[in-house]
């Protein structure tokens, strides 16, 4: 018999700063984290939920296919650890090897294990790999009721625009733990509870995010106006009551030749630095 209980997948659970919230929203939560030190911390802090089979921990990296890959642990800020070597990691990292599997494999494993058909929510925060995860999910027709991802790569916007999602909310990472710190929510038992968010948490999703939804026509104008980066888009399958459509603000991109030249030179320097970092990485590998 298929269970009607809710399940949430936390892809990139870090040290578990989102798990208190997710465990209020769903009977089952699957936390996926490649950093072994962090998964051990989660196991210690949430042992009661693990013992009662409500929380499942996967110490594994998510990628396009099964196998093993290098994983770069940032020594100063584990939030920046990633499968992808980048200038943000520089030389301040520890290189390890991690086992990888696709997100669709993890999801199917737990849907079959727990006899669940529908997914309540998937949170994606994998430092540069978010678009790979989203692509795998959509190619395998995995469309949870709600899904959110950071938008560092324009491919994410393309994937969402071509998805069946209908309603959207946007969150700035800097809002969490400051502007959005305490909210009331309805838990999976249909009870009203209060949750406190700390900085670097992913924050609420879906109806728990303050304000109305936006329609699909507002996605491109929002990111044209605000840029990519530490910004989450939360997608819902349902048709909602919408805000007024976001309008593209052309003045954001109007600048004189001097400003354009300055931006071009800055972009060139960054590209050159990335190329040098890539050469250094190959040398040390």
Distances (CA, A) of 39 to 7, 43, 59, 75: 19, 6, 6, 16
Number of domain units in the chain = 1
pLDDT the model gives residue 135: 96
- 71 vs 113, higher pLDDT: 113
Poorest-pLDDT segment among 40-44, 117-121, 192-196, 281-285 = 281-285
Containing domain of residue 247, as a range? 7-254
Which residues does residue 123 pair with via DSSP β-bridges, in sequence order?
10, 148
- 250 vs 59, higher pLDDT: 59
pLDDT the model gives residue 266: 63
Cα–Cα distance for residue pair 238/167, rounded to 1 Å: 7
pLDDT the model gives residue 64: 85
Q: 139 Cβ partners below 8 Å, 6+ apart?
A: 104
Q: Evaluate whether residue 261 is within a structural domain.
A: no
Q: Evaluate whether residue 270 is within a structural domain.
A: no
pLDDT the model gives residue 200: 83
Q: Please report, for the domain that includes residue 206, its CATH number.
A: 3.40.50.150
pLDDT in tens, 225-268: 898 988 999 999 999 999 999 998 887 776 554 564 565 556 55
Q: What percent of the chain has pLDDT over 70?
A: 79
pLDDT in tens, 125-165: 987 789 999 999 999 999 999 999 999 999 999 999 999 99
Q: Evaluate whether residue 158 is within a structural domain.
A: yes
Q: Evaluate whether residue 265 is within a structural domain.
A: no
- Reported as a pLDDT band with limits 50, 70 and 90, residue 191 is very high
Q: For residues 13, 16, 19 and 108, what is the CA-based torsion angle, rounded to 10 degrees? A: 30
Q: Evaluate whether residue 259 is within a structural domain.
A: no
Mean pLDDT of 100-114: 96
Q: Evaluate whether residue 49 is within a structural domain.
A: yes
DSSP reduced 3-state for 91: coil
Q: Evaluate whether residue 176 is within a structural domain.
A: yes
Mean pLDDT of 83-89: 53
Q: Evaluate whether residue 171 is within a structural domain.
A: yes
pLDDT the model gives residue 258: 53
What's the token pair of residue 180?
A: 């959005």
Cα–Cα distance for residue pair 278/148, rounded to 1 Å: 30
- Mean confidence (pLDDT) of the chain: 86
pLDDT the model gives residue 37: 86
């Amino acid at each position: 018999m298929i269970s009607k209980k809710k399940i949430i997948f936390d892809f990139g659970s870090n040290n578990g700063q989102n798990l208190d919230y997710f465990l209020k929203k769903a009977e089952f939560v699957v936390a996926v984290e490649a950093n072994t030190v962090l998964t051990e911390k989660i196991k210690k802090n949430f042992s009661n939920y693990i013992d009662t089979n409500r929380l499942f921990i996967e110490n594994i990296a998510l990628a396009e296919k099964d196998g093993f890959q290098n994983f770069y642990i940032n020594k100063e800020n584990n939030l920046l650890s990633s499968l992808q070597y980048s200038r943000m990691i520089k030389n301040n990292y520890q290189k390890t090897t991690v086992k990888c599997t696709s997100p669709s494999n993890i999801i199917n494993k737990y849907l079959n294990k727990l006899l669940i058909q529908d997914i309540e929510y998937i949170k994606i925060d994998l430092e540069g790999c978010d678009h790979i995860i989203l692509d795998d999910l959509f190619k395998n027709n995995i469309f949870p009721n709600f899904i959110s991802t950071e938008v560092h790569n324009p491919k994410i916007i393309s994937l969402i625009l071509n998805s069946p999602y209908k309603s959207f909310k946007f969150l700035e990472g800097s809002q969490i733990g400051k502007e959005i710190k305490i909210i009331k929510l309805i838990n999976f038992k249909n009870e009203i509870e209060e949750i406190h968010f700390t900085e670097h948490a992913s924050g609420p999703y879906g109806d728990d995010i303050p304000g109305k939804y936006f329609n699909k026509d507002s996605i491109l104008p929002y990111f044209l106006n605000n840029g990519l980066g530490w910004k989450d888009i939360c997608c819902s399958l349902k048709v909602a009551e919408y805000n007024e459509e976001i309008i593209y603000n052309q003045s954001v991109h109007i600048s004189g030749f001097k400003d354009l030249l300055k931006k071009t030179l800055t972009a060139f320097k960054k590209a050159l630095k990335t190329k040098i970092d890539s050469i250094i990485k190959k040398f040390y590998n």
